[in-house]
C-alpha cells in the first residue's frame, strides 16, 4: 500500500520534470525510516540488534524499490536513452545529485535539533526537561546502513545505462562518511550497544543482491539498445514522404524531419525483453522475435556475455543463500559449532571499564536517564551500571523507592541476611549481585 502510494507520487512528479521526480524520491527516502520504525513497534525482539536489523531490512527494500525500480517502471521504454528532458538517464542523474546533497544538507541544518536547543530548551519549565532538549538526536544504525546499500544498489542497477554513476557513487559514499562522522561527533547521542546482525545481513545478503541486480538488469539494458522499438526494413519510402515535414514528439515538441529518396521504412519491434511473453531469461540474443531482429553483431556478443554472467552470479548468490539459510541451520541441529574466542586472563570482569553488567531498567520517554527497577545494594562497583548522573545518586533514578516503606524493607532484608546465612527474606524486587575479589 505504502509502496503503491510512493510509486504514484514518483509518477506524478515525473510528469512535471525529472528534477521534481528526484526531489520526491529524496523526500520519500527521508520519511521511509519513520514509517518502518512505526511498523517495527508491533514486533517483539529480544535484542536491540535484532530490532535494528528488522528496521534495516524494511527500509532497504523500500528504498531500493522507490529509488531504483520506480523510475524505471514509470518511464516509457522509448524514453530510456532519448534526448528528451524527461528521459530515464536525466532522471538517474538528477536522483544521484539529490541523494548526494540530501544527507549532508540535513546533517548541517539539523532543523529539529536546533529548534529543540534554541527554542524549546530555554523555555522548558524545569532543569530536567530542559536537559532533554540538549541530549542530541537518536540515530539508528540500520538506517545508516541503508544509505550505503541504497547507493550501491542504485549504481549497479543502472551501471550499463549510466556508467558515470560509479563516480557519483564514490562522491556519495565519501559525503555520507563525513556527514555521518560530523553528526556522530556533534549531533547524535550515544546509541545502544548492539551486535553484528546488521553488518552480517549486508555482507551475506544485500551486497549479493546488489551484484545480482548488476548482472540481470545489465543484460536487459544491453539488450534494449537503442531503446526506440523500431526496426529497419528493406522497403524504400514512398515518393510522397520525400522532403521536410513537421512532427510532434511524445513530449509535445515540434520537430522537423527531412527524408530523402534513399531512406527506408521502419517498423515497430519490441526491444524490451523484460516485457516479452513468455519472459526472456536470461537476456540472450536468440530471444529476438522472428522477423524483428534489431541487434548488431557486437551487441549480440555483449548481450550473450552479460546474460550468461547473470546466470553465473545467480548461481553463486543462490548457493550462498542456501548455505546460510538452510545448511547452517541444519548443521547447528546435528553438529557442535561453538568455538570459544580469546584466551583466559587474570583481568577481572569489573576491571574492564568498557564492559557493563545487566542492570534491569526501563527507558521512559521524558527522562534523560533510564529508570532502575532493581535492588542495587549488592553491587560493589557502580560503574557496571553503564551511566552516571553527575551529582545525583542512583537511588533518585530507582523506581523501587517510590513504593511506601521500600527503604525500611530493604534494610530489614540486609539485617536478616547478615544475622543468618540461611535467613529467609521476602524478595520484593529483582536484585543485582556482584562477586568480586
Beta bridge partners of 137: 188
Asked whether the predicted pLDDT for residue 174 surpasses 90, the reply is: yes
Grid cell at residue 331 = 548443521
Nearest to 182 by CA among 120, 285, 99, 105: 105
pLDDT band, residue 426 (cuts 50/70/90): low
pLDDT band, residue 357 (cuts 50/70/90): confident
Nearest to 226 by CA among 177, 139, 295: 295
Percent of the chain with pLDDT over 90: 11
Write down the pLDDT at residue 126: 84
Write down the pLDDT at residue 20: 83
Which of 20-34, 241-255, 263-277 comes out lowest in average pLDDT? 241-255
Residues 40 and 100 in one domain: yes
DSSP secondary structure letter of residue 190: P
Q: How far apart are CA 326 and CA 320, in angstroms?
A: 10
Nearest to 66 by CA among 101, 19, 31: 31
Q: What is the average pLDDT score of the chain?
A: 82
Residues 186 and 203 in one domain: no
Strands 430-433 and 374-378: parallel
Task: Give the number of domains in the chain.
Answer: 3
Residues 167 and 290 in one domain: no
Residues 154 and 288 in one domain: no
Strands 374-378 and 230-236: unpaired
Asked whether the predicted pLDDT for residue 353 surpasses 80, the reply is: no
State the residue for C-alpha cell 520525400.
242
Write down the pLDDT at residue 29: 87
CA-based angle 99:100:101, to the nearest 5?
A: 90
pLDDT band, residue 304 (cuts 50/70/90): very high
pTM across the whole model = 0.80
Q: How many CA atoms lie within 13 A of 223 on its CB side?
A: 31
Nearest to 118 by CA among 108, 126, 128, 110: 110
Residues 59 and 145 in one domain: yes
Sign of CA dihedral 112, 113, 114, 118: positive
Write down the pLDDT at residue 144: 86
Nearest to 237 by CA among 264, 258, 260: 264
CA-based angle 131:133:136, to the nearest 5?
A: 100
What does the pLDDT average to over 46-69? 87
Residues 21 and 168 in one domain: yes
Residue 414 or residue 143, greater confidence: 143
Write down the pLDDT at residue 421: 45
pLDDT tens per residue across span 215-226: 999 999 998 888
The answer to whether the beta carbons of residues 94 and 86 sit under 8 Å apart is: no
User: Would residue 255 count as lying in a domain?
Assistant: no
Residues 169 and 204 in one domain: no
Write down the pLDDT at residue 152: 92
Of 337, 361, 380, which residue sits at a domain end?
337
User: Would residue 171 count as lying in a domain?
Assistant: yes
Domain residue limits at 297: 195-226+283-337
Residues 121 and 152 in one domain: yes
pLDDT tens per residue across span 187-215: 888 777 777 788 888 888 888 899 999 99
Amino acid at each position: 500500500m505504502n509502496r503503491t502510494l510512493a510509486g504514484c507520487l514518483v509518477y506524478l512528479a515525473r510528469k512535471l520534470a525529472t528534477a521534481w521526480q528526484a526531489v520526491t524520491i529524496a523526500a520519500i527516502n527521508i520519511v521511509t525510516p519513520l514509517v518502518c520504525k512505526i511498523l517495527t513497534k508491533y514486533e517483539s525482539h529480544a535484542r536491540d540488534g535484532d530490532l535494528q536489523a528488522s528496521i534495516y531490512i524494511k527500509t532497504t527494500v523500500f528504498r531500493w524499490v522507490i529509488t531504483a525500480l520506480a523510475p524505471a517502471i514509470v518511464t516509457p521504454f522509448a524514453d530510456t536513452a532519448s534526448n528528451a528532458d524527461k528521459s530515464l538517464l536525466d532522471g538517474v542523474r538528477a536522483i544521484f545529485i539529490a541523494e548526494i546533497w540530501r544527507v549532508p544538507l540535513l546533517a548541517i541544518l539539523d532543523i529539529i535539533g536546533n529548534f529543540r536547543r534554541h527554542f524549546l530548551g530555554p523555555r522548558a519549565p524545569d532543569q530536567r526537561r530542559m536537559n532533554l532538549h540538549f541530549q542530541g538526536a537518536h540515530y539508528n544504525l540500520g538506517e545508516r546502513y541503508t544509505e550505503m546499500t541504497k547507493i550501491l544498489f542504485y549504481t549497479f542497477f543502472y551501471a550499463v545505462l549510466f556508467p558515470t554513476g560509479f563516480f557519483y557513487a564514490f562522491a556519495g559514499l565519501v559525503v555520507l562518511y563525513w556527514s555521518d562522522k560530523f553528526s556522530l561527533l556533534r549531533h547524535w547521542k550515544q546509541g545502544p550497544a548492539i551486535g553484528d546482525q546488521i553488518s552480517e545481513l549486508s555482507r551475506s545478503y544485500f551486497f549479493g543482491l546488489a551484484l545480482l541486480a548488476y548482472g540481470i538488469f545489465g543484460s536487459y539494458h544491453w539488450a534494449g539498445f537503442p531503446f526506440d522499438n523500431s526496426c529497419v526494413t528493406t522497403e524504400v519510402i514512398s515518393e510522397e514522404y520525400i522532403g521536410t515535414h513537421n512532427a510532434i514528439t511524445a513530449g509535445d515538441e515540434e520537430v522537423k524531419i527531412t527524408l530523402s529518396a534513399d531512406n527506408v521504412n521502419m517498423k515497430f519491434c519490441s526491444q524490451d525483453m523484460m516485457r516479452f511473453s513468455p519472459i526472456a531469461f536470461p537476456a540472450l540474443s536468440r530471444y529476438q522475435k522472428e522477423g524483428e531482429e534489431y541487434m548488431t553483431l557486437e551487441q549480440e556478443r555483449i548481450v550473450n556475455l552479460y546474460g550468461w554472467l547473470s546466470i553465473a552470479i545467480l548461481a553463486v548468490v543462490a548457493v550462498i543463500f542456501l548455505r546460510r539459510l538452510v545448511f547452517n541451520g541444519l548443521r547447528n541441529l546435528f553438529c557442535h559449532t561453538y568455538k570459544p574466542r580469546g584466551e583466559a586472563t587474570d583481568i577481572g570482569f569489573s576491571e574492564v571499564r568498557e564492559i557493563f553488567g545487566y542492570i534491569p531498567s526501563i527507558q521512559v520517554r521524558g527522562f534523560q536517564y533510564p529508570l532502575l527497577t532493581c535492588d542495587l545494594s549488592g553491587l560493589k562497583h557502580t560503574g557496571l551500571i553503564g551511566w552516571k548522573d553527575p551529582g545525583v545518586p542512583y537511588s533518585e533514578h530507582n523506581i523501587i523507592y517510590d513504593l511506601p516503606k521500600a527503604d525500611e524493607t530493604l534494610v530489614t532484608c540486609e539485617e536478616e541476611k547478615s544475622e543468618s546465612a540461611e535467613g529467609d527474606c521476602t524478595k520484593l524486587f529483582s536484585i543485582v549481585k556482584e562477586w568480586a575479589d
